[in-house]
Amino acid sequence: MTRIEVAPESLFGPENLPYGVFAPPGRPFRVGVRLGDCVIDLAVALDDSTFAATSLNPFLAQGSARWHEVRDRLLALAAADLPAAAVHSLAEVELKLPIEVGDYVDFYASLDHATNLGRLFRPDSEPLLPNWRHLPVGYHGRAGTVVVSGTDIVRPRGQRRTDSGTPDFGPSRRLDIEAELGFVVGAGSTLGQPIDIEDFGAHVFGVALVNDWSARDIQAWEYQPLGPFLGKSFATSLAAWITPLAALAAARIPLPAQTPEPLPYLRAEAPWGLDIDLTVHWDGTPVSYPPFARMYWSPAQMLTHLTANGAATRTGDLYASGTISGPEPDQRGSFIELSWGGTEPIRVNGQKRTFLEDGDEIVLTASAPGPGTRRIGLGEVRGRIWAARERDD
Ligand code: CA
């Protein structure tokens, strides 16, 4: 038997316990929880074959009563001696995408981000379009290109508008990040049955950091009138660890005021947001600190809205908040905002930078209040840019 020692200042202490899918050297992938710098093999520790699966989906599909039962057992296990065969060093395991992603939806729920992008893309009109304060604006993204943290990102090629007004084709010159929080649907819902705003907890299992890579030059040319397409769909990075909502109880905060009051289906008894602080690291240099606490639309409003027409949800569906930005210049969650459309370069390791260059590595980290004075960490999301692949234009 063995006991996992966790440093008191660790952001992955016994009150956190995020879920991932890992493989010990030479062994198959299976479900584990992270404790400190170790991974607990749940199929062994709980003697339960649900966790011998290569994704979290079978466990998620068992529903919220089961999620809470397992978490209660894990909270007890984290303080106990474990069979040595159930404990692995994080440094020695391989991590994969923790969920089989069903559908992927990308929202646009930050008032500061939507205002900044409105000013950059439409400088001569009101920054917010008339619908923005009435519904959480979003679109369906490409689930099949959601990749796990650590996956290299190949610079996308596409049509870029030239000064003559006609396009050429080539590698994106304005490759950007979007620092977002993703929500994982555990228990799905039936076609034709919208999810009531008070039923959020029965459907959403947990959260994970998302970097929604964006090619601004491709996006700016293609997006009207139907919205984001190839400027977004080449890759979306998801953290390897899903933090259960139950671990974020102390991070719940009242939602910022909404004016005008939303329509009745978007009103909750006690609307809440999450006090999660992100940091964007560019080649090791922290360049921004996006505050999720400022988000205008709540996680529950996003889920309710995306099913308001009767669209079904499935285990493994992922929806992301949209870029998280705050009111201060160093709280912007994308480089198009941080560099104000490329006109105000950012200092990174002594160099002036605007958009991503080949070889750049971006890491998003985040933490939130935990029990007492402790904080809990979200799993990082990391990605490095590779040169566009050669081809004939
Ligand atoms: Ca996005």
CA 187 to chain centre: 19
User: Cα–Cα distances in Å, from 198 out to 102, 163, 201, 315?
Assistant: 23, 51, 8, 19
Ligand 1 is an ion; residues with CB less than 5 A from it: 106, 178, 212
What pLDDT, in 10s, does the model give residues 151-176?
999 999 999 999 998 999 999 999 99
Centroid of ligand 1 to alpha carbon of 46 (angstroms): 37
Q: Which of 374, 215, 203 is nearest to 300 (CA)?
A: 203
The one catalytic residue among 68, 88, 113, 203: 113
Centroid of ligand 1 to alpha carbon of 325 (angstroms): 12
140 is catalytic: no
* CATH code assigned at 41: 2.30.30.230
Q: Domain range spanning residue 82?
A: 19-96
Centroid of ligand 1 to alpha carbon of 37 (angstroms): 31
Residue 292 counted as domain residue: yes
Domain C-terminal end among 40, 75, 96: 96
Structural domain tally of the chain? 2
Centroid of ligand 1 to alpha carbon of 212 (angstroms): 5
Longest dimension (CA), the chain: 70
Q: Which residues pair with 32 in a beta bridge?
A: 20, 41
Residue 291 counted as domain residue: yes
Centroid of ligand 1 to alpha carbon of 108 (angstroms): 7
Do 92 and 219 share a domain, yes or no? no
Predicted local confidence at residue 393, as pLDDT:
52
Return the ∠ at Cα 80 (arms to 74 and 85), rounded to 5°: 80
Q: Which of 77, 82, 85, 78 is nearest to 2 (CA)?
A: 82
Do 108 and 89 share a domain, yes or no? no
Distance CA 231, CA 382 (A): 20
Centroid of ligand 1 to alpha carbon of 389 (angstroms): 24
What pLDDT, in 10s, does the model give residues 349-392?
999 999 999 999 999 999 999 999 999 999 999 999 999 987 65
- What is the 3-class SS of 132-169, one letter each residue? CCCCCCEEECCHHHEEECCCCEECCEEEEECCCCCEEE
Residue with tokens 């920054």: 127
Do 312 and 213 share a domain, yes or no? yes
Residue 347 counted as domain residue: yes
For the chain, the distance separating the N- and C-terminal CA atoms, rounded to the nearest angstrom, is: 60
What pLDDT, in 10s, does the model give residues 250-298?
999 999 999 999 999 999 999 999 999 999 999 999 999 999 999 999 9
* CATH code assigned at 327: 3.90.850.10
Do 373 and 264 share a domain, yes or no? yes
Do 44 and 111 share a domain, yes or no? no
